[in-house]
């Protein structure tokens, strides 16, 4: 176990094979297993369990009672070596649960950087989460879910396994997603339907008026024209040649397999 100036409470149990970076703080009654790497300046509160193989980046804050890197809840899982990777500067609040991957996918669960996970968020096996996202209390991600960057997930919102949410989307509280949500789209309801684009979020992130107008036009073409996704894609491709922000939506639609939410 490498400590390098780490502050480890005397009641914490840290496996000698764990790699602990510089300036890490580990609180009382926390358990760090073997094959765990914790980057510099992380703060791990009391009563946290971190099981490996898990790689955690720098400056993450993990609050009490979180369970990080545990075996997944997939009945097919039979103890194979799978991994959880977490980036930098994430805040993981009380009682969150992050599970490692399965061999049925890529044996890997990935969390990006600068995300906020509020109380009791669940990230299931094989999920891939981008950066700069917010997940409110009790948000639930099933297995194999992919979430883009700058996504906001409301409290108690849930998404079906293999679901996808594109970057800059906004998912309302208590929404139930059984289909994919394209980039920029606001979704709400059970089952969720589209309610325009996340204009306010885009403005706050510095999107130009021209880009937002193009995204609104793409939204109307996709959800209000009565056309199928296949029929809409050529028009969005043309629009994306002028506004690259729309090209992100085109790429998402072309790789879609489960279908998207509909009005």
Go through the chain and tell me how many residues it has: 263
Q: Among residues 126, 132, 149, 180, which one is catalytic?
A: 126
Residue 72's nearest CA partner among 15, 11, 141 is: 141
Given the structure tokens 């000698």, which residue do they identify? 16
Neighbours of 127 (CB within 10 A): 26
pLDDT at residue number 84: 98
Q: Are 42 and 61 in contact (CB under 8 A)?
A: yes
Residue with tokens 């955690």: 56
Structure tokens at 64: 């009490």
Reference 157, options 113, 197, 128, 120; nearest CA is 120
Cα–Cα distance between 110 and 101 in angstroms, integer?
9
> What residues does 69 pair with on adjacent strands?
none
Spatial distance between the Cα atoms of 64 and 143, rounded to a whole number of angstroms? 24
Q: 183: phi > 0 → left, psi -120 to 50 → alpha, else beta; which?
A: beta
pLDDT in tens, 172-187: 999 999 999 999 999 9
Q: What is the mean pLDDT of residues 133-150?
A: 98
Each residue's pLDDT tens digit, 1-58:
556 689 999 999 999 999 999 999 999 999 999 999 999 999 999 999 999 999 999 9
User: Shortest CA distance to 68 belongs to which of 54, 57, 87?
Assistant: 54
User: Which of 125, 144, 146, 150 does the annotation list as catalytic?
Assistant: 125
Three-state DSSP state, 235: helix
Q: Is 143 a catalytic residue?
A: yes
125 is catalytic: yes
By the 10 Å C-beta count (0-12 exposed, 13-18 middle, 19+ buried), 103 is classed as: middle
Tell me, what's the pLDDT at 1?
52
Reply yes or no on whether the pLDDT at 197 is more than 90. Answer: yes
Long-range contacts of residues 238-242, Cβ cutoff 8 Å, at least 24 apart: 239/214, 242/214
User: Strand 146-147 and strand 164-165: pairing?
Assistant: parallel
For residues 33 and 189, give the distance between their C-alpha atoms in angstroms, rounded to a whole number.
40
**pLDDT band at residue 127 using 50, 70 and 90 as cut-offs:** very high
pLDDT at 215 over 90: yes
> According to the model, what pLDDT value does residue 228 have?
94
Active site residue 35: no
Give me the catalytic one of 39, 57, 143, 166. 143
What tens digit of pLDDT does each residue of 66-119 get? 999 999 999 999 999 999 999 999 999 999 999 999 999 999 999 999 999 999
pLDDT value at position 263?
Answer: 84
- CA 242 and chain centroid, separation: 30
Mean pLDDT value across the chain: 96
The H or E element containing residue 122 is: strand 122-123
Strand, helix or coil for residue 199 = helix
């Amino acid at each position: 176990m490498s400590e390098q100036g780490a502050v480890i409470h005397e009641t914490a149990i840290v496996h000698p094979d764990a790699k602990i970076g510089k300036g890490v703080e580990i609180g009382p009654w926390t358990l760090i297993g073997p094959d765990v790497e914790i980057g510099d300046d992380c703060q791990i509160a009391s009563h946290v369990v971190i099981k490996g193989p898990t790689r955690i980046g720098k400056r993450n804050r993990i609050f009490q009672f979180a369970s990080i890197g545990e075996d997944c809840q997939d009945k097919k899982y039979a103890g194979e070596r799978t991994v959880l990777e977490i980036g930098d500067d994430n805040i993981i609040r009380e009682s969150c649960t992050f599970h490692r991957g399965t061999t049925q996918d890529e044996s890997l669960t990935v969390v990006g950087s600068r995300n906020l996970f509020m109380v009791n968020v669940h990230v299931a096996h094989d999920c891939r989460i981008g950066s700069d996202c917010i997940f409110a209390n009790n948000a639930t991600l099933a297995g194999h879910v992919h979430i883009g960057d700058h996504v906001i997930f409301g409290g108690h919102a849930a998404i079906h396994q293999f679901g996808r949410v594109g970057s800059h989307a906004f998912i309302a509280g208590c929404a139930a997603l059984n289909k994919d949500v394209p980039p920029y789209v606001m979704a709400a309801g059970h089952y969720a339907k589209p309610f325009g684009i996340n204009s306010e979020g885009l403005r706050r992130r510095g999107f130009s008026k021209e880009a937002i107008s193009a995204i609104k036009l793409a939204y109307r073409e996709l959800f209000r024209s009565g056309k199928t996704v296949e029929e809409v894609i050529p028009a969005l491709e043309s629009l994306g040649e002028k506004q690259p922000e729309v090209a992100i939506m085109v790429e998402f639609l072309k790789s879609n397999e489960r279908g998207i939410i509909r009005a």
